[in-house]
Amino acid sequence: MTLIVSMFCSFFTALPQAAMASGTTYYVDSTGGDDGNNGTSEGSAWKTLDKVNATTFSPGDKILFKAGESWNGRLWPKGSGEQGNPIIIDKYGEGSKPLIAGVTSELEAVFLKNQQYWEISNLEVSNSSPLPFDRDWENPRGQRRGVYILNEEAGLLHHIHIKNLNIHDVDGSYTTRSGGIIVDSVGSTTPSAFDDVLIDGNTLTDVDAYGIYIGSNCILRNGMGDLWPWVPKPYGPWTPSTRVKISNNTVLRAATGGIAWNVTDGAVVERNTVGQATYLATNASIWWAYSDNNLVQFNESFASVNGAEDGHGFDVDAGNIGSLVQYNYSHDNAGGFMLFVNDTYDTINTVVRYNISQNDRKSIFRYSGSIDNVYNYNNTVYVGKSSGNPVMSDYFTKASGAPRNIKNYNNVYYSLGDKGWDLRGQTFDYNAYYGGNTLVQADAHGVTGDPKFANPGSGAEGMNTVDGYKLLADSPLIGAGIRINENGGRDYFGNRLYNEAPDIGAHEYEGSVPPAGSMPDPIDVVQIRPVSTPVDDLAPQAAASTTFRSSSSQAIENINDKFYDTAWSTEGSPSFPGYITLDFGGQTISANQLKLNTRFGQESGITDFDLEYDNGSGWVPIRTNIHLSWDLNNGANEIKSIEFPLTRFSKIRLKVHGGNALSGRTTLNELELYNNPDLSKDMVTTSFPTGAGTITNIIDNNLNSAWGSDVNVSFPGYITLDYGHDPVPVNKVTLVTFFGIGQGITKFDVEYYDGSGWLTALPGASVEWKLNDSTKESQTVTFPTVHAYKLRLKVNDANRVWGNIALNELIVEHTPEHVPVTGISIDRPEIVFNASSDRSAALQAAVSPSNATNKKVKWSTDDDQVVEVDAEGRVKVVGEGKAVITATTEDGNFQAASQITVDWTAPEIRLGPVTTSELTSGTFQPRFEISDAWTGVDNAKTEILLDGKVLTDVKDTPMYELALGAHTFTVKASDLAGNTSAKSVDFDVKTSNAALEELVQRFAEAGWIDNKGIANSLLKKLQNHNVSSFIHEVNAQKGKHVSADAAEYLLRDAESLLHE
Amino acid sequence: MVKIIHHFGSPKWLFTAGLLVIGSVIVIFTAGSGFSKTKHHAEVIATVNGVPVHINEFRRAITANKAGVISYFHEKYGAEPSPAFWTTSYGGQIPLEMIKQRALETSVNIKIQQIIAKEQGVLRDIDEDSFEQSLERENKRRQKAIRDHQVVFGPASYSEDAYFEYVMTNAIVSVKNHLMEQDWKPDEQQLKLFYESRKSAETKDQSFEAVKDQVVKDYIDYKYAGYVRERISEAKVVVNQGPYDSFQM
């Protein structure tokens, strides 16, 4: 009988025993208690942790440990409370806090797993290990914790309050899941987080690695990539813990960070004291990441130990959207006051206001990576001698991006020695600068001169002597600031804002001040919205363009503007095919994945396209006949992914054949481009055994990730890239390695597979590494172009100081061979512009050889008052004169010239009097002058005409040789420019009695009338006006004593007189 | 990274700072002469260069070392808590003796650092009464400030242990700053030698210039630790045997 009963009892006691009734108080006394007791009174207390751990407690239960007592082991009571009725752990009796001393066989001293509605108060907790701390996260100590609250795939858990514990000597390892109080969510399958976590009034000293850490593996949003190796994979979607408050804690000598939190929304961290954090390894004292709407206030963060990396009092870290850091006191920190650092998606909307920093060291403000939209205002920064000459700010651009839009207002910087600012990304207005190199010249309203603090530098010798930073009545900082809207309503000391015009610095002077008068408009603190696209999306680096007609309100730029809510749309119904192109300009990138995001895809999404890239000589297809079918039409994001073999290019385009044009239009919200190393996994292989990293690290476009071999390698070995069924042209290979002198590849052949076999592209290549530090050093070899289906390095030797070889990146490229220019000619070596020419001309330059790589030509004129020439060789005539237009090749500076002449002015002709008289007795003198400005007379073209007939013989002629009557003498001239002019003069040839008489006399003298008597007879007849008789006699004598010619002349004139 | 050798039990920070010196302090036990008549005999458990260590200070040191001693005996001998734990002999070692010895070392170490702080003008008073008054004042001030919506950093109310740690930490920071500005300014040569002697695999790729700020800081920490060790080794410690022997947990 008895046997059966005892067996029955033992069966039951083996299972966690349900507590007897809800709302029961249990007492535990390690020296006076007994596990056989019922535990419900001080006199009948339980004894051991095992007893407590074997019990499942109910809502409203209390578990009280006796003051002054201690237990070795792990406390892990089971069960959960409920809303309004938590389970409480506390102490009873007078004396020191009950001690839970952890043991090396358990990682935690106090543990809850997938439990909720618990409050733990008034315990002392330790968890030592004999092993030393180091930076290896897999340190054999293990990830030890003081108090570990774990949510493992349990969804949302509520109400964990941890208060007034004294936690010390927790010897964990270098991870974020190890330290004094660790609240941890793991949600690989079920997104998991906590709501209502209060960590208040605890003292944590000598804790490794962290003092207080709120962590989670539900971090995926905005393209978040890999986190630390100890965070369990796969990661869950971003699931924040809410109503997290960390307050009134004192954390001293945390090995790494003092207080840190990840993946929260609305966390409040206030009134904590964190001193001597980063005690054993670099970190930051108070920091947060992947968290939204953070409030960090009234904390004192001081004397961090390790400033080699970070080490700041406060650190707004990666992926934070919205942080307010106010009314904190930071001093004597090894790394600096305020760190803004981000390696992932943007950290945005950070406000740092009304804080005091005294004697922080190294870098007071540090900006690193993609940080956007920061307001630092009304902070008082004191840099004393013990700051050790820090920089006021430094600045780092990282793969995630560059810090930008950092606005500084109303701050006072007081320095006894500093190295000044890196001003990139920052603007300064209405700040005060005193001493050191703090002055920012560009500050339009800067105040210099002694700020008149009550007692600067006097803090840190007592906790409330920051009163030294209050302003004296005659401080130039009073009223010298600018109003900021939504300023929180109070200054550092609790004074209301503002007392008339705002003051600079953390103190708003309370005494009487002059009235504000008219003030500049207040500053609005604006929020920016986070971008939609992951940080490793390459598309935003390109310029987008399209051959489709775009809607005027939805431009093509919207497809790579990083925001999903802005879309591109065609205008009306597009005609296909059309192109959407991304041009990366001078950059070459590698990619293997395209993503299209279309909201309302069923209505207007792109459905059919080819993907092409520009290989330098033309467009080459990467993938053809890609078809997308869209499922949604409700405004939600729908993202389609297209994978393709890893391709290097500067330009890529979609040749779009069709879309769902249900309303006529085609739209696209975002086009994204990635180099996704997972997709290229099969592309690269190696015959070397791997020691560290993976071989895909050498083609992931990330110089920081490296592959290292095992320490035991033999040569030759191979590293092979497989390009699939489309060969690529290659003529250049670059190896990137750090610590090259220690582990870089030195001798290798470059081989390629041409479709049927392996050939050598470059035999016996050899590189010499120059560096042996963390610099990513590049070494390049080139060779004649080959077309490779596969490419491999046959590695024959390497530096192996530590046994292994390593490679950060293998870059395979084809740069088109450069064909140099050998000469240039112009199609028209000279141009003459005359009055009738066009006022412009087009010159063509021919660069040889015709396949020269750079055929760019620069045009110039040496006299732009004569001709202008544009970049395409189009000549515009300006004015008369001569000029030389030169075409010069960009490559080689070869030149060709065209001589330009501009002459609009025809020759000037002056005709002299061409006759001595009108009478036949006169002389015809064809006198003329031709002159020409600019090009000069073209004498060959000069024509002398008499009565329209060209005079071949231009000489003085007796008038009697000309017919009687009207004549016209003409001179026509040309200049060498081809301008022509003509001038004429009319004259008459007449006769008279007197003229005739003179002719007779002249002929007689000339011997044409060879008889004096006849001559006289003729003269007499003329004097008597006896013309007909004259005529008779001339006729009679013609050929005898009057020459025939003479007779003709005389008879002609005489008959003319007769007929008058 | 310098490997930290961790001794089981005693407050770790004293070890990592290289401060704790075991056994080389000259300790004189006396039955009672040489103590100020103005103080209660039983309240002073020892003097360090004539400066008293109050029993409360000693108790704080006991509390600080308690978890370490308990873990030590648990790990080594499987000892469990019991009324007789402290006075039981485990393999020849008695927990009460060990904890008193460790607490004494802790107390001497702290008192030496307080003496240095007073010499440097950083702390005005270093006796227990002043500390307790200061704690009370500070907590009153905090409560009032919070009621008046004024600025208060850190907790609304400090526990004795937390407040003590906080005051000491801040005081040591100030002492180092003072010494750095005056006596201990290192020149480039000293810094470089110090840096070379400390270089390890993790820092091999960093140039001196890049880490100079941290080297200066490490140098000061190192010098301070050495200075405290030196002062401890020269200290005259007189233990008041009565209260020490009769001290119970």
| Per-residue model confidence as pLDDT tens digits over A402-459 | 999 999 999 999 999 999 999 999 999 999 999 999 999 999 999 998 999 988 877 6
| Per-residue model confidence as pLDDT tens digits over A588-597 | 788 999 999 9
Q: Chain B residue with minimal CA distance to A304?
A: B173
Whether residue B201 lies within 8 A of chain A, CB to CB, comes out as no
Beta-sheet pairing, A790-798 with A717-722: antiparallel
| Per-residue model confidence as pLDDT tens digits over A246-287 | 999 999 999 999 999 999 999 999 999 999 999 998 899 999
- Residue A727's pLDDT band, with cuts at 50, 70 and 90, is confident
> What residues of chain A lie within 8 A of the CB of B16, using their CB?
279-280
CB A274 within 8 A of CB A258: yes
Answer yes or no: do B181 and A300 touch at CB < 8 A: no
pLDDT, position B183: 76
pLDDT, position A780: 94
Answer yes or no: do A275 and B148 touch at CB < 8 A: no
Beta bridge partners of A642: A594
B/e letters for A316-333, b = 16+ CB within 10 Å, e = fewer, are bbbbbbbbbbbbbbbbbb
Between CA A76 and CA A924 the distance in angstroms is: 140
Which of A31, A102, A126 is the closest to B81 by Cβ?
A31
> What residues of chain B lie within 8 A of the CB of A128, using their CB?
8-9, 67-68, 71
Q: Which two tokens stand for residue A900?
A: 């330009």
- Residue A724's pLDDT band, with cuts at 50, 70 and 90, is confident
State how far residue A332 is from chain B, nearest Cα, in angstroms.
8
Answer yes or no: do B82 and A461 touch at CB < 8 A: no
For residues A535-552, average pLDDT? 92
pLDDT, position B190: 81
pLDDT, position A1: 40
The percent of residues in chain A predicted with pLDDT above 70, rounded, is 97
Cα–Cα nearest to A457, from A439, A438, A434: A434
Q: Map out the domains of chain A as residue ranges.
A: 22-101, 110-277, 282-296+321-328+336-525, 539-674, 681-809, 823-902, 908-989, 993-1059
Cα–Cα nearest to B27, from B173, B236, B176, B241: B236
> How far is C-alpha A183 from the chain's CA centre?
38
Whether residue B78 lies within 8 A of chain A, CB to CB, comes out as no
For residues A676-686, average pLDDT? 84
CATH of A681-809, one of 3.40.367.20, 2.40.30.10, 3.40.50.2000, 2.60.120.260: 2.60.120.260
Residue with tokens 């109503």: A243
Cα–Cα nearest to A357, from A510, A466, A480, A282: A466
Answer yes or no: do A126 and B67 touch at CB < 8 A: yes
Asked if pLDDT for residue A681 goes beyond 80, the answer is no
| Per-residue model confidence as pLDDT tens digits over A943-993 | 999 999 998 888 898 998 999 999 999 999 999 999 999 999 999 999 988
Q: Is domain A823-902 annotated with CATH 2.60.40.10?
A: no
ipTM value for the complex: 0.83
- Residue A22's pLDDT band, with cuts at 50, 70 and 90, is low
Answer yes or no: do B216 and A298 touch at CB < 8 A: no
State how far residue B39 is from chain A, nearest Cα, in angstroms.
26
Tell me which of A332, A354, A382, A383 to substitute to probe the interface with B (most B C-beta atoms closer than 10 Å).
A332
Quickly list DSSP for A284-333. -SEEEES-EEEEEES-EEE--S--SSB-EEEEE-TT-EEEEEES-EEES-
pLDDT, position A934: 86
pLDDT, position A169: 95
Answer yes or no: do B170 and A303 touch at CB < 8 A: yes
pLDDT, position A363: 95
pLDDT, position A550: 94
Answer yes or no: do A131 and B83 touch at CB < 8 A: no
Chains A, B: CB contacts under 8 A, how many? Answer: 187
Between A993 and A670, residue with greater pLDDT? A670
Asked if pLDDT for residue A463 goes beyond 90, the answer is no
CB B203 within 8 A of CB B2: no
For residues A359-366, average pLDDT? 95
Answer yes or no: do A361 and B217 touch at CB < 8 A: yes
Between CA A576 and CA A657 the distance in angstroms is: 5
pLDDT, position A15: 47
- What type of residue is B169? T
Chain B residues 80-139 within an 8 A CB cutoff of chain A: 80-83, 85, 122, 138
- Residue A911's pLDDT band, with cuts at 50, 70 and 90, is very high
pLDDT, position B42: 63
Tell me which of B86, B204, B217 to substitute to probe the interface with A (most A C-beta atoms closer than 10 Å).
B217
pLDDT, position A586: 78
Examine domains A823-902 and A908-989 and report if their fold is the same. yes
- What type of residue is B63? T
CB A548 within 8 A of CB A583: no
| Per-residue model confidence as pLDDT tens digits over B26-41 | 566 655 444 444 455 6
Beta-sheet pairing, A881-889 with A857-861: antiparallel
- Is-cis flag, bond preceding A577, omega within 30? yes
> What residues of chain B lie within 8 A of the CB of A252, using their CB?
165-166, 169
Which of B1, B71, B177 is the closest to A126 by Cβ?
B71
Q: Map out the domains of chain B as residue ranges.
A: 17-244
Asked if pLDDT for residue A850 goes beyond 80, the answer is no
The percent of residues in chain A predicted with pLDDT above 90, rounded, is 71
User: How confident is the prediction for chain A on average, in pLDDT?
Assistant: 91
Quickly list DSSP for A861-875. ES-TTTEEE-TT-EE
Answer yes or no: do B1 and A306 touch at CB < 8 A: no
- Residue A352's pLDDT band, with cuts at 50, 70 and 90, is very high
Asked if pLDDT for residue A1011 goes beyond 80, the answer is yes
pLDDT, position A453: 92
- Residue B206's pLDDT band, with cuts at 50, 70 and 90, is low
Which of B4, B74, B153 is the closest to A300 by Cβ?
B153
| Per-residue model confidence as pLDDT tens digits over A1016-1049 | 988 998 888 888 888 899 899 888 888 998 899 9
In CATH, the number for domain A908-989 is 2.60.40
| Per-residue model confidence as pLDDT tens digits over B45-76 | 999 999 999 999 999 999 999 999 999 999 99
| Per-residue model confidence as pLDDT tens digits over A794-849 | 999 999 999 999 999 999 887 766 778 999 999 999 999 999 988 999 999 999 88
Q: Which of A111-120, A460-469, A956-965 has the lowest mean pLDDT?
A: A460-469
pLDDT, position A203: 94
- Residue B231's pLDDT band, with cuts at 50, 70 and 90, is very high
Answer yes or no: do B6 and A130 touch at CB < 8 A: yes
| Alpha-carbon Rg for chain A in angstroms | 50
- Residue B4's pLDDT band, with cuts at 50, 70 and 90, is very low
| Per-residue model confidence as pLDDT tens digits over A39-95 | 999 999 999 999 999 999 999 999 999 999 999 999 999 999 999 999 999 999 999
The architecture of the domain spanning B17-244 is Orthogonal Bundle (1.10)
Top CATH class of A539-674 equals: mainly beta
Whether residue B13 lies within 8 A of chain A, CB to CB, comes out as yes
pLDDT, position B29: 62
> What residues of chain A lie within 8 A of the CB of B83, using their CB?
31-32
CB B145 within 8 A of CB B86: no
Asked if pLDDT for residue B18 goes beyond 60, the answer is no
Between CA B47 and CA A979 the distance in angstroms is: 122
Q: Chain A residue with minimal CA distance to B149?
A: A494
Which of A128, A388, A492 is the closest to B68 by Cβ?
A128
Chain B residues 128-167 within an 8 A CB cutoff of chain A: 138, 141, 148-156, 158-159, 161-162, 165-166
